[in-house]
Structure 1
Amino acid sequence: MFLSDLSVDRPVLVSMALFVFIVFGVLAYFSMPLNLMPDVKIPYVVVQSVYPGAGPSEVETQVTKKIEDAIATVSLIDYIQSYSLENVSIVMVAFKIQKNVDIANQEIKDKIDAIIRDLPSDLQKPIVQKMDINAIPFMDIILSGNLDGKALYELADTKLKDRFGQIEGVAQVDLSGGNKRQIQVQLNDQTVFQNKISLAQLMQILAAQNMDMPAGNFQRGTQEYSVRLKGKFESLDEIANANIPTPTGIKKLRDLANVIDGAEDVRTRAIYFDVPKKVLDQNIVHISLTNASDANVVTISDEVRKNLPEIEEDLPAGVSLNIVRDTSDFIKSTVSDTFTNIWLGILFTGLILLIFLHDLRSTLIVALSMPISIISTFVFMQIAGFSFNMMTLIGISTSVGILVSNSVVVIENIFRHRDEGMPVRNAAKRGAAEIAVAVLASTLTNVVVFLPVATMGSLVGQFFREFAYTVTIATIFSLVTSFTVTPMLASRILTGKEKKNKFGIAFDNLFDKFEASYKKFLGTVLSSKKHSRNIIIISVILVVGSLALMPVIGLEFIPEIDQGEMSITVELPEGYNLDQTADVLEIVHQRLANHKEIEHIITNLGSSGFVNTGTNLASARIKLVDRADRKKSAKQLAEIFSKELADVPNAKIIVSAGSSAMGQVMGMEFYLQGQDNARLEQLKNQITELIKDTPGLMNLDTSSRGGRPELTIIPKRDQMSAVNATVYD
C-alpha cells in the first residue's frame, strides 16, 4: 500500500508531515474557546411596543392583534407568541431553523412599517430586533458601599455601565436596585389656583428651557465656527430661578414650587443575602452582564476580571464591586473534568493494551495513535469554528476506542508475518497492505454512522453536528495513523522475534484457559438445534425486555446538568406594593437560611423574568456550594424548597433548578386556544384544578393574569368648558 510503504521507506518525510498537524493541533488546543454547549442558532425576532397609559386589553386589541395580523404572512414562521401587558406589547416570532435571521428581521420591520399609521398615535415606534434565546446574563456583580441608594445607582449608571459595556463581547449591562435621581417640582393647590397655572403648560415651559441644540455655523474672515446652544439646567438653583410666565406677571419657579433633588418612585429593588454569614444587604445595585451572540463567555469573563481592579481604583472610598456569580467557572470546570477523563481513558486504554500485548514497544506503537489522532483533530475543529464543549468532548471520548482498534489490527498482522520469519521491515509493509481494505471498510462503517447525524437540519441536528463531525474527523485520522505511524514505528523498534516475559506467559496461559472454555461453550450451543434455538429465544427476550424498559427509564432531549444554581419566582396578589413584596421575600430568606447548601441569594423585587414586571413580583437566583460539598442535587433541593415555601401566605412561589433570565423553563407546556377570553379563563381554572394533584407535577403555572384594579376617569365636558379646561389639561 502506498501510505505504509512510504512511511517505512521515508520515515522522516512522514514524521514531518504528522508533526505539522501535531504542532498546529497544540496551538488550536490553547486558542479554541470554551463553551458548555454548541452555539445553536435559533431564528427569533421580537417586536416590542410601548403604549403609555394603556391597559392589557387595550394593548391587545389596538397593538398586539394588529402586529400579529401584519407579520403572519412572513414565510417560514414556526409560531408567534405575544404578551399584552400594561403599557407594553411584546410579540415574539420564532422561525424555522432554515430561515436566515437577518432576512427575517428585515421582513418583520417591513411589515411593521406598512401598518404604522394604523397603530395608535400615542404608541412609541415599535422596536424590532433579533433575539438570542441563549443570551442570558453570564455574570452578576454587586455594587455596595457607604453611599445611599441614589448615589450608588448614579455611579453604576453614569460610570460603571459604560466601563463594563466597553469590554469586548459584552452586549448588555442591566442594573437593578438603588434609586434613580429625579428632580421634583412640587406645587400646592392654592398656588396653582391663585396663579392660574396650567400644569401642562408648566411642563412645556420647563422643557423648552432645558435643552441643548445645534445652531449651525458661521464664518468670520477665513475662520469657520460651529455654533451650539447649551441651555440645559446644570444645577438646582438654575431650575429654581427659571422664569415662569403667569397671568400676574413673570415669577421665579422657586416662588411657585419647591424644587427638590429627589429620586424616582422605587419600582425595583435588589437584595443580596450571604447565607453562611447571615448578612442581608439591601443597599446594593445589582449589575448583570450579558454576552453578545457571537462572543465567548469564558473569554469575556477573563477580560472582565482583568479590568476589574482598574475599575475599582476609580470608585469612591468605601465602595466595592464583588463578582457573586460567573457561569464561566462552571464551564471551565466541566471542560477540565471532561479533558481529564479523556486523558485518563487514553492512559487506561494503554494499560489494557500493555496487558494483552505484554510488550512495552508494541504498546507504545499502538497507543501513540490515540494522542496523534486527537491532537490532529483539534486543527480541523478550529477551522470549522468549533469550541471545546460537552458535545465535541463527548465526541472525542467516543472515538478513543475507535482510534486504537485500527492500529491493533495492523500491528497484529505485522506480528503474524514477523513470527513467520519475514524481516521486520518487510513485515511492516506486507502486514499493513494486506488488511488495508478491511481496515478501510471498518473505518467507513463508523463514518457513515456518525456523518448523517451532522447533516440533520433540525434543532437536534444543530446540537449533535459538532459531536458527529468531531468523531468523524478523529476516526479518519486514526485510519491515517494506522497506515503511517504504526508500520513506520514497527519497522524501526520491533525486534526480530517476540520475547515473552513471565507476566506474558502467565497471562497467555490464563487466556488460553478462557479460550478453551469459550470453545467448549460454543461447541455445546452449536451441537444441537435445541440449544441454538434457546440462545436465540433468550436473546430476543433480552432485546424486547430492554425496549420495554424505555418508558420506565424515561426519555429527554438533554440530561439535567447541576450547575449549582437555582431560581425562585414569587407572585403576590395584584395591588401589593414593593414593601409588602419585600416582607414576603424576608420570610423566604429566613426559611432558606437554614440550608447549608446555599452560598448566597440575589433577589430582584419588581420583576420575575424578561416579560413579567410589577411591584407584586420578585425573582431570586440561588448560588449553591460546590457539588462535592453537598449531598443533594439542585433538583432535589428544588423539591425540598418548594415544600418548605408552599405555605407562605398569599404567595405563589415557583422553585426550579437552574437559572434563566427569560423566566422559568418548564418541562411541559400546552396552549388553551379560543376566541372568548372570559370562557378561556373559566376553562383554565377548571383544567388547573383537574391536573394540579397529578403525581410528580411541580410548578404548575399559567400565563394569563387578571390585572390590577383600574380607575377610569370620564371627563364632564360642560363643566370643563366653563373653566376653560381641556381633557389634555
Structure 2
Amino acid sequence: MRMACQAVALSWRANLTSFERSLCMWITKVSIKHPVFATMVILALLVLGMASYGLLPVERMPPVASPQVFIQLSYPGASPEAIENDLIKPLEEQINTVNGVKHIWATAREGSAFMSVEFRMGANSAGGLQEIRDKVALIKPNFPKEAKDPLVLKADISGESEPVMQLALRSGTLSLRELSMLSEQMVIKRLRTAPGVGSINSNGLVNRQIQLRLRRDALNSYGLGVDQVMNAVREANQDVPAGRIVNGNNEQLVRLEGKIKDPKQFGKIIIARQANTPIYLEQVADVVDGEQENTSISRLDGQSVISLDVFPIQGANIVELGEGVKSAVEKMKASLPAGAELTVVQANSDDIKRALSDTKVTILEGGILTTLIVFMFLHSWRSTVITALTLPISVIATFIVVHACGFSLNMLTLMALSLSIGLLIDDAIVVRENIVRHLGMGKNHVQAAHEGTEEIGLAVMATTFAIVAVFVPVAFMHGIIGQFFFQFGITVTVAVLVSLFVSFTLDPMLSSLWHDPEGDRLKNWPRMGRFMAAFERQIEKLHHIYGRFLAWSLVKRKTVLAGAMAAFIASLFLLPFIGTEFEPKVDNGVLRLQLNTPIGSSLNYTDAKTKQIETALKSFKEVRSIQSAVGVQNSKNMAEITLKLVDRKQRRSQNDIEKEIRKVVGRVAGVELSVGGWKPIFITVFGPDPSQLTQITSDLMKKIAKIPGVVDLESSEKAFTPTLAIKIDNEAASDLGLNNAQIGSALRALISGETISHWLASDGQNYDVVVQLAESDRRTASDLGDLYLTSSKTNSDGSPLRVSLRQVATLENSSSSQQLKRLDMQRRVSLYANVQGRPSGTVSNEVQALLDKTELPPGYHFGAGGQQAEMQEAFAAFLGAIGLAVIFIYFVLASQFGSFLQPLAIMASLPFSLTGALLALFLTGTTINLFSMIGFMMLLGLAVKNAILLVDFANSAKRAGQSAKEALLEAGQVRLRPILMTTAAMIFGMLPMAIGLGEGGETQAAMGRSIIGGVISSTVLTLIVVPILYAYLDGWAVKRKARKALKLALATN
C-alpha cells in the first residue's frame, strides 16, 4: 500500500511538473521569440489598467452588507416606560417570529425609540426587511393614535452612514431665525442638486412659528376649553373648494378663501359667542410671530451657527461628491445675503483623499526603496530596470480585476497593493538573478534567458502559489470580517499572479534583447563603483560565513534545532507584554467629546456648561476649531464637542491631547465627560427587575473603575428624570363626561403645544400654527391643577360643562427612566468605558476575568459585546483562515516536490517567523490586532518562499548525483543571494508602511512591523533550520531504503 502511494505521488508529480514546465516554458519561449507581441500584451495590460483605475469609485473603506434592519419610533410626550409597553414589546413579539433574526435591540427615550434587528449571516436580509415591514404594518393599528408611523430602514455600516461634509451657515448681522429660513429655502435645496447627495441633516435651526399663547385666567373667565380654541382656528384658517359655475360658454371655479394672510388676523378669529357677544382669540391668547422652542444649539468657534451634515446616496463616489458640494458652496456664496457666510467645517471627502494619497505615497516610497535594493545587488541599471518594471505593471494591471469585480479604490485595496510591493518584485528578482548567473556561465543572452527562466520557473511558480494559498482564505473568511477583507485578499492574489506572468514574459524577453555593456558598468560613477565593490565584498564575506555555519549546523543539528526552538518559545513569553486590541487607534486629527449634565437639566444649563468647556479648550494650541452641538439625541442634558486638530507634524499625539483634555475638563463641576466615539469596553447585564439591575450595575461599576486603564466609565441606566405624575380618577372623570384620551389630548396641547394649522407666508413657505399655554401658566403642579377641561356634558343652560384637572386627578411628584434598553425581549443595563494607556484587549480580558468571578442572583446574567466580542470573532476567523492557508501551502509544496514528507521539512520553519514578528511588535509598542494578524498570515507564504528556493535547488543537485550534504551546501551558496535580495526588497518595501507617518498610518504600521520582524527571523532560521530538517528526512529515507533492500535481499536468498 505504501509503495502504491509513493508511485501515485511520483506519477502525479511527474505529470504536474511536466505540465507546469511546459506552460511556463511556452509563455517564456513565445515572449523571447516574439518580443513585439509580448510588448503589446504588456501595453494592453497597462492601458486597460489605467482605464479601469479611472473608473473606480473612491471611498474610505469597502462597503459591508450589514444584515440589520433599523426601526425608528416616535410617540411625542410619552415616557420610556409607555413606549416600551405600547410600542416596543408588541413589535418584539411580532419580529421575533421572522426567519433568520439573531438579535433584537431596542432603546426607548422620552418621545422616541430606536430598534435594531440583526439577522444571522447568510440570512435573506432583503426578504427579512420586507417581512418586518409587513409585521409593522400588521400591528400599527394597535398603536396609540398619538404615535407616529414607524420608519423601517435597511442598515448601512459601509461608512456612508457618516456625513461626507459638514457645513456651517453663520452671520454677524442676521438672526438665527433668518439663517434658518435661508438654510431651508436656499442652501439645502441647492446642495441637493449636487450629484450623489442623499440626505442633509441640520442642527441649531430656529424655525419660524405662529404661536397662540393661551392665557389660563382668560380661558377660565370665559369658561372656554383648549379644544374649543383649536377647533375654531382649524375651521377658520382654510380654503374650501366649492365647485364650478357655467355661464354659457364660460366656466369658473368657485373657491372659498379663508386662509389668513397676516398673522395678526388670527387674533380676530371668533372662538365662541356668549350672550350673542363674540369672543375673539386675542381675548384669551397672545398671537406671536415667533420661533419654536429650541431643542438644539449649534456653535462654531463660539459663534452660533446652523450646521448642515451632507450624507451620500449608496454607491456614490465620495471624493467626487465632496468636490461637487464644494463647487455648490462656492457658487452659493455670491447669492448669500450680506453678512451671511457658508463655510466647510469638516470635509470627510478631503480626509479620504488625504488618506488614500498617503497610501499611494507609501506604495511609491516602497517601490523606490525596493528598486534601490535590486540595484545594489545586481550592480546594473539595465537589470534593475528590467526587474523594477514588474512593480508598476503589476500594480496597474491589478486594477483591471479590481474594476471587473466591482471593487472600489479604498484603504484596504490600496493597503493590499502597498503590502504587495515587496512581493511583486520577488519573482522578477529570482528570475533575473538566475539569468545573470547563467550569463556568468558563458551562455549567450537568449540561451541564458531561456534556460535561466526554465531552471527556476517551477520554484517561482510554487512560491507565488504559496502566497496565493495564504490570501485566498483571507478573502473568504466568514462574517462581517470576511466581507471587510474580501477585497483585500482578492487584490493581493491578483497582484502576485500578474507579477508571475510579467516575470515569465517581460523579464526574459528584455534580458534576451537588452544587454549590459562589456567591462565596468559603473566606470562613469567611480564613487558608486567603489561603494558597490565594498558592498559586494561584504556579500561574499557573508557567503563564506554562512557556508561555514551551515556546514557546522549540519553536523550539530540537535544543538541548532534546540536553539531555534528556545528562541521560538522565548518569543511566546512576550505575548502578555504585547497586548491585544480589535484595531489600532488612528490619529486622524479629530477629537469628539460627549458631555452629560445632571438629568433634568435645561437646554440653557447644558449650553452654559458647554461654553465653559469651550473656553477651557481654547487654551490648547493644537486645537484648530471647536464645533459644539447641544441637545443631541433629543436629550437636553447631552452635548457633543468636535475638535479639529492642527497637522499631526505640528502637535503631540492624539492620545496625549486626550489625556490632557480629561484633566482640564474634569475640573468643570456638574459635567460627565467621555472622549472619543465607540467605546471598546461593553458589558451588558440582563434581568427582570429594574431596581435589581441598577444595584448590580452600580456595584459592578465600582469594581471595574479600579482596573488600570479604564476611563470614561458610564452606565446606560441614567438617573431618573423628575416627573409630575397625573393619576386620573376614572370614575369621577366618567361621571363628569371625561375620559383619559380627552384629558391627555388637552394636556398635551396645553403643555407641549400642538400644531393645529399652517400659515402660508408671502415667501411661499408654510409655517406651523401652534396652540400652547403661556409659559408663565405651566411652571408648577398647581398651575396644571387649575387647568379646565371641556366635558361632553352640558350645563343647564346648554353650555359645555367645564371641569378642573384637580377634580378628576391627583398630581404627584415622581420620577421615570430617562431611557430604557432591551435586548432579545429582555430588559438590560449596559456599561461602557474607554481605555487609556493600555491595550484595550488586555483591559477587556481583565474585565472579563472580573465578570467570571462575580456571582449574580438567579435570573440575571452577563452578556458579551463591543470590541471584545468583535475581536474574539475576528481572531477566530483569522485562525480558521491560517489553518486553511497551512493546508493549501502543503498542497502546493507536495505538488511541487512530489513528496508527502518534504513539505513538512519546509513547513516546520513556519512557526519561526512568529519569533521575529512578536519581537518587532514588542519593541515598537504595537499590539496584536486585525492588521498585525494579516501580517502573520503573510509570513506563512514568505517563510516558505525562501525554503522553496533552497529545497528546489538541493533536489536538483541531488538528482545530478550529489550527496544530501553537498547538495544543501551548494544550494545554500547558490540561493543565498536571491534569498537576501528578496528579503531585503520585502523589508525595504515594507519600511514606509511600518513607519506609518501618513493619514491612518497606524493600521498599516501594525502590518508592516509584524512582517519586517517575521521576515528577518524566518530568513535567518530558514537558511539554517530547513537544511537540517531536509538532512534528517533524507537520512531517514536512505535508512528506510536500505532496510527495504536488506529485506528484499533476505527474501530473495
Alignment TM-score, normalising by the size of structure 1? 0.91
Please state if 1:309 is matched with 2:330.
yes
Using the alignment, how far apart are the partners of 2:246 and 2:564 within structure 1? Answer: 97
| Residue range with higher mean Cα deviation, 485-494 or 122-131 | 122-131
Using the alignment, how far apart are the partners of 1:230 and 1:89 within structure 2? Answer: 41
Deviations 1:539-563 (A, max 9, x none): 2122122223223211223211111
Does the CA-based 8 Å contact 2:190-2:328 persist in structure 1?
A: no
- Label 1:590 to 1:493 Cα distance change in 2 as closer, same or farther (>3 A): same
Please state if 1:710 is matched with 2:723.
yes
Q: CA deviation at 1:353?
A: 0.8
Which residue of structure 2 aligns with residue 353 of structure 1?
Answer: 374
Query: Structure 1 residue aligned with 2:680, among 667, 672, 676?
Result: 667
- For residues 104-119 of structure 1, the aligned pairs below 5 Å read 104-119=128-143
Q: CA deviation at 1:646?
A: 2.1
Deviations 1:164-209 (A, max 9, x none): 2332222221111142211012343454345443321221232234
Does the CA-based 8 Å contact 2:64-2:156 persist in structure 1?
A: no
Query: Structure 2 residue aligned with 1:695, among 698, 708, 714?
Result: 708
Which residue of structure 1 aligns with residue 542 of structure 2?
Answer: 514
Which residue of structure 1 aligns with residue 44 of structure 2?
Answer: 20
Using the alignment, how far apart are the partners of 2:618 and 2:725 within structure 1? Answer: 44
Which residue of structure 2 aligns with residue 638 of structure 1?
Answer: 658
Using the alignment, how far apart are the partners of 2:38 and 2:102 within structure 1? Answer: 52
- For residues 111-190 of structure 1, the aligned pairs below 5 Å read 111-133=135-157, 134=159, 135-145=161-171, 146-190=173-217
Larger-Rg structure: 2
- Label 1:242 to 1:402 Cα distance change in 2 as closer, same or farther (>3 A): same
Does the CA-based 8 Å contact 1:7-1:484 persist in structure 2?
A: yes
Q: CA deviation at 1:568?
A: 1.1
Q: For 2:165, give the aligned amino acid.
A: M
Using the alignment, how far apart are the partners of 1:465 and 1:77 within structure 2? Answer: 24
Using the alignment, how far apart are the partners of 2:221 and 2:684 within structure 1? Answer: 58
Does the CA-based 8 Å contact 2:380-2:516 persist in structure 1?
A: no
Q: For 1:564, give the aligned amino acid.
A: G
| Secondary structure of the corresponding residue to residue 567 of structure 2 | helix
Which residue of structure 2 aligns with residue 276 of structure 1?
Answer: none
Q: CA deviation at 1:269?
A: 0.9
Using the alignment, how far apart are the partners of 1:471 and 1:414 within structure 2? Answer: 27
Which residue of structure 1 aligns with residue 605 of structure 2?
Answer: 580
Q: CA deviation at 1:249?
A: 4.8
Please state if 1:200 is matched with 2:213.
no
Q: CA deviation at 1:226?
A: 8.8
Which residue of structure 2 aligns with residue 268 of structure 1?
Answer: 296
Q: CA deviation at 1:459?
A: 1.6
Please state if 1:683 is matched with 2:683.
no
Using the alignment, how far apart are the partners of 2:253 and 2:569 within structure 1? Answer: 85
- Label 1:234 to 1:78 Cα distance change in 2 as closer, same or farther (>3 A): farther
Using the alignment, how far apart are the partners of 2:620 and 2:327 within structure 1? Answer: 33
* Unmatched 5+ stretches in structure 1: 274-279, 657-663
Does the CA-based 8 Å contact 2:420-2:492 persist in structure 1?
A: yes
Query: Structure 2 residue aligned with 1:34, among 40, 43, 58?
Result: 58
Query: Structure 2 residue aligned with 1:288, among 296, 301, 309?
Result: 309
Query: Structure 2 residue aligned with 1:328, among 349, 363, 369?
Result: 349
Using the alignment, how far apart are the partners of 1:458 and 1:628 within structure 2? Answer: 38
Q: For 1:155, give the aligned amino acid.
A: L
Using the alignment, how far apart are the partners of 1:506 and 1:629 within structure 2? Answer: 41
Does the CA-based 8 Å contact 1:195-1:246 persist in structure 2?
A: no
Does the CA-based 8 Å contact 2:241-2:256 persist in structure 1?
A: yes
Q: CA deviation at 1:445?
A: 0.9
Does the CA-based 8 Å contact 1:418-1:427 persist in structure 2?
A: yes
Which residue of structure 2 aligns with residue 660 of structure 1?
Answer: none
Please state if 1:372 is matched with 2:393.
yes
Using the alignment, how far apart are the partners of 1:202 and 1:351 within structure 2? Answer: 86
| Residue range with higher mean Cα deviation, 5-14 or 303-312 | 5-14
Deviations 1:35-80 (A, max 9, x none): 3222222222111221222211111122111111211122332322
Query: Structure 2 residue aligned with 1:557, among 582, 603, 623?
Result: 582
Please state if 1:428 is matched with 2:449.
yes
Please state if 1:460 is matched with 2:487.
no
Q: CA deviation at 1:498?
A: 7.2
Q: CA deviation at 1:26?
A: 2.0
| Residue range with higher mean Cα deviation, 698-707 or 467-476 | 698-707
Aligned residues with identical type, % of pairs: 31
Does the CA-based 8 Å contact 1:34-1:335 persist in structure 2?
A: no
- Label 1:331 to 1:220 Cα distance change in 2 as closer, same or farther (>3 A): farther
| Secondary structure of the corresponding residue to residue 714 of structure 2 | coil
Using the alignment, how far apart are the partners of 2:110 and 2:194 within structure 1? Answer: 35
Using the alignment, how far apart are the partners of 1:413 and 1:222 within structure 2? Answer: 100
Deviations 1:234-290 (A, max 9, x none): 4314434444443435555445543210111112111222xxxxxx213x2111222
| Residue range with higher mean Cα deviation, 293-302 or 216-225 | 216-225
Q: CA deviation at 1:337?
A: 1.4
- Label 1:521 to 1:29 Cα distance change in 2 as closer, same or farther (>3 A): same
Deviations 1:280-301 (A, max 9, x none): 213x211122223322332211
Q: CA deviation at 1:219?
A: 9.2
Does the CA-based 8 Å contact 1:424-1:496 persist in structure 2?
A: no
| Residue range with higher mean Cα deviation, 620-629 or 712-721 | 712-721
Which residue of structure 2 aligns with residue 536 of structure 1?
Answer: 561
- Label 1:48 to 1:231 Cα distance change in 2 as closer, same or farther (>3 A): farther
Q: CA deviation at 1:478?
A: 0.4
| Secondary structure of the corresponding residue to residue 321 of structure 2 | helix
RMSD of Structure 2 on Structure 1 (CA): 2.7
Query: Structure 2 residue aligned with 1:80, among 104, 108, 123?
Result: 104
Does the CA-based 8 Å contact 2:445-2:512 persist in structure 1?
A: yes
- For residues 617-656 of structure 1, the aligned pairs below 5 Å read 617-631=638-652, 633-656=653-676
| Residue range with higher mean Cα deviation, 242-251 or 457-466 | 242-251
- Label 1:223 to 1:28 Cα distance change in 2 as closer, same or farther (>3 A): farther
Q: For 1:516, give the aligned amino acid.
A: H
Using the alignment, how far apart are the partners of 2:553 and 2:467 within structure 1? Answer: 31
Which residue of structure 2 aligns with residue 64 of structure 1?
Answer: 88
- Label 1:701 to 1:151 Cα distance change in 2 as closer, same or farther (>3 A): same
Q: How many residues align?
A: 707
- Label 1:5 to 1:93 Cα distance change in 2 as closer, same or farther (>3 A): same
- Label 1:138 to 1:100 Cα distance change in 2 as closer, same or farther (>3 A): farther
- Label 1:265 to 1:505 Cα distance change in 2 as closer, same or farther (>3 A): closer
Deviations 1:563-596 (A, max 9, x none): 1111111111222112211221122122212111
Q: CA deviation at 1:639?
A: 2.1
- Label 1:520 to 1:319 Cα distance change in 2 as closer, same or farther (>3 A): same
Q: Between Structure 1 and Structure 2, which shows a larger proportion of helix residues? A: 2
- Label 1:190 to 1:398 Cα distance change in 2 as closer, same or farther (>3 A): closer
* Unmatched 5+ stretches in structure 2: 1-24, 523-528, 737-790, 809-1053
Deviations 1:486-544 (A, max 9, x none): 111111112586756554555433322221122122233333x3xx3332222212212
Deviations 1:682-728 (A, max 9, x none): 11111112222221001111112233221123455356667614799
- For residues 433-512 of structure 1, the aligned pairs below 5 Å read 433-495=454-516, 501=522, 502-503=529-530, 505-512=533-540
Please state if 1:568 is matched with 2:589.
no
Using the alignment, how far apart are the partners of 1:6 and 1:260 within structure 2? Answer: 88
Q: For 1:724, give the aligned amino acid.
A: L
Using the alignment, how far apart are the partners of 1:19 and 1:216 within structure 2? Answer: 75
Query: Structure 1 residue aligned with 2:439, among 400, 418, 421?
Result: 418
Q: CA deviation at 1:230?
A: 6.8
